[in-house]
């Protein structure tokens, strides 16, 4: 009786798998890369014919596939007889000559487009440029500047946005016509500047609140825009405006006799009280209009300011109080410009982030015109005829801020 296993074994012996079959050095596919020094990363097909071997090697390199050979099953008994090859082709897969002919025909035919894998070159430089573009396109987040005051009942976080929206709507009533000095027959813009410069020194000497100074200047401009004043009465107008601002803002108000003394007794108590009536009736008792100061506090908070930035911004905006040409700008714009100019002066470059723009409602381009004028005021602050503001901020009380920082010249010379 014939053993079927022996016949099967004889058939497999007689089958020709190539010349290498005679050397008994074929290896199992599962262990083809095990414990081999210098084994190739990807198996390739080796055949006696050089043209076919080159074509399969190119196909292997191009498509980066793990394997190109067809699956070949071997019986367990035959697999045990295969031994590792010690030659240079020990890690390659050998194919039958019959399969070689079929594959040679297949390789000559074009592969369908649907089966081809596109080859895309990876350029790390292009990806880096794309990442930079994406970062630039990402908008800078707007910070919640009232987050830390949520538990502070005095901060009125629930109403702060409504308050400043109201200030913006009503600030136009604080503005005066640019040419209001044209209707004054006896005074000029230079006289106004002398008066404001002197009042800033008086305000500092009495140690009054900042709100008082800005309201004083606002009352003077609004009154002069509606009432013609003689030159000899101009200082009296300034004293009465300071008195009214103190009554509105201060807890402790200077007495009238003190104001008479600082005027070198140029006016009497009766003169002060009489001018007070005239001014209140002319302004229709409207004292609660927004000035630059509440906007300045809000915008400094948006800029996350430190003490240096606060003092420098106050210095710049007080220089603007003296200059008659600055009355053309609304209070919110002057405050935003003071913060922006102070940032540029300290850091040495333009700085206006999305948080400042959101809370100030002004873009950087909208601030540039006013900013250039403010920088010019800073440039001549120490050498001009009126140096009251510069002397005030050159003291130790204000950290010598007027002498510590030079004006931001690049903002004036910058073409943008």
The domain that holds 355 is classified in CATH as 1.10.472.10
| Integer Cα distance of 304 and 195 in angstroms | 34
The verdict on 314 and 401 lying in the same domain is yes
Question: Could you say which of 227, 249, 282 is where a domain stops?
Answer: 282
pLDDT at 54 over 70: no
Instruction: Pick from 21-35, 106-120, 176-190 the range whose average pLDDT is largest.
Output: 176-190
Higher pLDDT, 294 or 68: 294
**pLDDT tier, 327 (very low <50, low <70, confident <90, very high otherwise):** very high
pLDDT in tens, 343-384: 999 998 888 989 999 999 999 999 999 999 999 999 999 999
pLDDT confidence tier of residue 127, bands split at 50, 70 and 90: low
Share of the chain above pLDDT 70, in %: 66
Residues 251 and 182 reside in one and the same domain: yes
- Determine, yes or no, domain membership for 220: yes
Same domain, yes or no, for 264 and 328?
no
CA gap 208, 253 in Å, rounded: 9
In a domain, 354, yes or no: yes
Shared-domain flag, residues 299 and 255: no
Of the given ranges (95-109, 130-144, 225-239), which has the lowest mean pLDDT?
95-109
pLDDT of 30 > 70? The answer is no
Q: How many domains does the chain have?
A: 3
Domain boundary among 66, 89, 108: 108
Q: CA of 55: how far to CAs of 52, 59, 72, 93, 242, in Å?
A: 5, 6, 21, 15, 97
The pLDDT of residue 18 is 46
> What's the half-sphere exposure (Cβ side, CA atoms, 13 Å) at 10?
5
Taking Cα atoms as reference points, which of 329, 330, 339 lies closest to residue 359? 339
Q: Could you tell me if residue 374 is inside a domain?
A: yes
Of 258, 282, 306, the residue that ends a domain is 282
Mean pLDDT of 173-184: 91
Statement: residue 35 has pLDDT above 80: no
DSSP symbols for 139-151 = PPPPP-TTGGGTT
Percent of the chain with pLDDT over 90: 56
End-to-end CA distance of the chain: 105
Residue 286: strand, helix, or coil? coil
In a shared domain, residues 393 and 311:
yes
Cα(306)–Cα(316) distance, integer angstroms = 16
Residue 51 within a domain = yes
321 and 364 part of one domain: yes
Q: Average model confidence (pLDDT) for the chain?
A: 79
Report DSSP letters for 34-46, one per residue. TT-TT--SS--B-
DSSP letters, 181-247, are GGG-SS--HHHHHHHHHHHHHHHHHTT--HHHHHHHHHHHHHHHTTS---GGGHHHHHHHHHHHHHH
Q: Read off the pLDDT of each residue in 197-220 and give the average, rounded to a whole number.
A: 96
pLDDT band at 114 (very low <50, low <70, confident <90, very high): very low
Residues 278 and 370 in one domain: no
- Kindly state whether residue 136 falls inside one of the protein's structural domains: no
Residues 133-140, mean pLDDT to the nearest whole number: 57
Would you state the pLDDT for residue 202? 96
The DSSP 8-state label assigned to residue 92 in this structure reads S
Alpha-carbon distance of 126 to 214, in angstroms, equals 55
Query: What are phi and psi for residue 125, nearest 5 degrees?
Result: -70, -40
Q: Is the pLDDT of residue 22 over 50?
A: no
3-state SS of the chain: helix, strand, coil percent to 5?
60, 0, 40
pLDDT band at residue 142 using 50, 70 and 90 as cut-offs: confident
Query: Is there a domain that residue 378 lies in?
Result: yes
CA angle (343 as vertex; 340, 346 as ends), nearest 5: 150
Structural domain range at position 50 = 17-108
Whether 134 maps to a domain, the answer reads: no
Question: Please, are residues 168 and 336 in contact by the beta-carbon 8 Å criterion?
Answer: no
208 with 308, same domain: the answer is no
| Residues 249, 213 contacting (CB under 8 angstroms) | no
For residues 302 and 220, membership in a common domain is answered with: no
Per-residue pLDDT for 98 more than 90? no
More confident site: 54 or 169? 169
214 and 312 co-located in one domain: no
The verdict on residue 375 lying in a domain is yes
Structure token digits, residue 197: 């410069």
CA atoms of 68 and 255, how far apart (whole Å) = 103
Q: What pLDDT, on the 0 to 100 scale, is given for residue 121?
A: 54
Average pLDDT rounded to a whole number, residues 26-33 = 55
Whether residue 319 has pLDDT greater than 50: yes
- Report how far residue 234's alpha carbon sits from residue 69's, in angstroms, rounded to the nearest whole number: 104
Please indicate whether residue 78 or residue 293 has the higher confidence score (pLDDT).
Answer: 293
Beta-carbon contacts of 228 under 8 Å, excluding residues fewer than 6 positions away, are 183, 184, 185, 186
Report whether pLDDT(337) > 90.
yes
Residue 49 shares a structural domain with residue 102: yes
Tell me: do 353 and 385 sit in the same domain: yes
């Amino acid at each position: 009786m014939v053993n079927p296993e022996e016949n099967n074994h004889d058939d497999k012996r007689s089958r020709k798998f190539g010349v290498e079959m005679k050397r008994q050095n074929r290896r199992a596919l599962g262990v083809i890369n095990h414990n081999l020094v210098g084994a190739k990363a990807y198996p390739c097909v080796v055949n006696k014919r050089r043209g076919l071997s080159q074509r399969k090697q190119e196909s292997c390199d191009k498509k980066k596939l793990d394997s190109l050979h067809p699956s070949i099953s071997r019986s367990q008994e035959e697999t045990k007889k295969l031994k590792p090859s010690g030659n240079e082709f020990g890690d390659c897969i050998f194919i039958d000559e019959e399969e070689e002919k079929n594959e040679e025909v297949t390789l000559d035919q074009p592969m369908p487009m649907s089966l081809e894998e596109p080859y895309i070159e990876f350029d790390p430089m292009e990806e880096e440029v794309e990442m930079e573009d994406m970062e630039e396109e990402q908008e800078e987040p707007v910070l919640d500047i009232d987050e830390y005051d949520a538990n502070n009942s005095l901060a009125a976080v629930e109403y702060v946005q409504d308050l400043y929206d109201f200030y913006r709507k009503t600030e136009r009533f604080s503005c005066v016509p640019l040419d209001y000095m044209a209707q004054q027959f006896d005074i000029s813009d230079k006289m106004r500047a002398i008066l404001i410069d002197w009042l800033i020194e008086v305000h500092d000497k009495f140690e009054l609140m900042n709100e008082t100074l800005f309201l004083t200047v606002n009352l003077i401009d609004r009154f002069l825009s509606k009432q013609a004043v003689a030159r000899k009465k101009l200082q009296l107008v300034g004293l009465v405006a300071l008195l009214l601002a103190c009554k509105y803002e201060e807890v402790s108000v200077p007495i009238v006799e003190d104001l008479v003394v600082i005027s070198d007794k140029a006016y009497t108590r009766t003169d002060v009280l009489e001018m007070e009536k005239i001014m209140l009736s002319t302004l229709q008792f409207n004292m609660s209009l927004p000035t630059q100061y509440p906007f300045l506090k809000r915008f400094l908070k948006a800029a996350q300011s430190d003490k240096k930035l606060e003092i420098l911004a106050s210095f710049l905006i007080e220089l603007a109080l003296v200059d008659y040409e600055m009355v053309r700008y609304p209070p919110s714009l002057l405050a935003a410009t003071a913060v922006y100019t102070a940032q540029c002066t300290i850091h040495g470059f333009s700085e206006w982030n999305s948080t400042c723009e959101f809370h100030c409602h002004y873009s950087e381009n909208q601030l540039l015109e006013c900013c250039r004028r403010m920088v010019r005021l800073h440039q001549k602050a120490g050498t001009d005829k009126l140096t009251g503001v510069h002397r005030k901020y050159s003291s130790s009380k204000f950290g010598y801020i007027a002498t510590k920082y030079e004006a931001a010249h690049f903002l004036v010379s910058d073409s943008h």
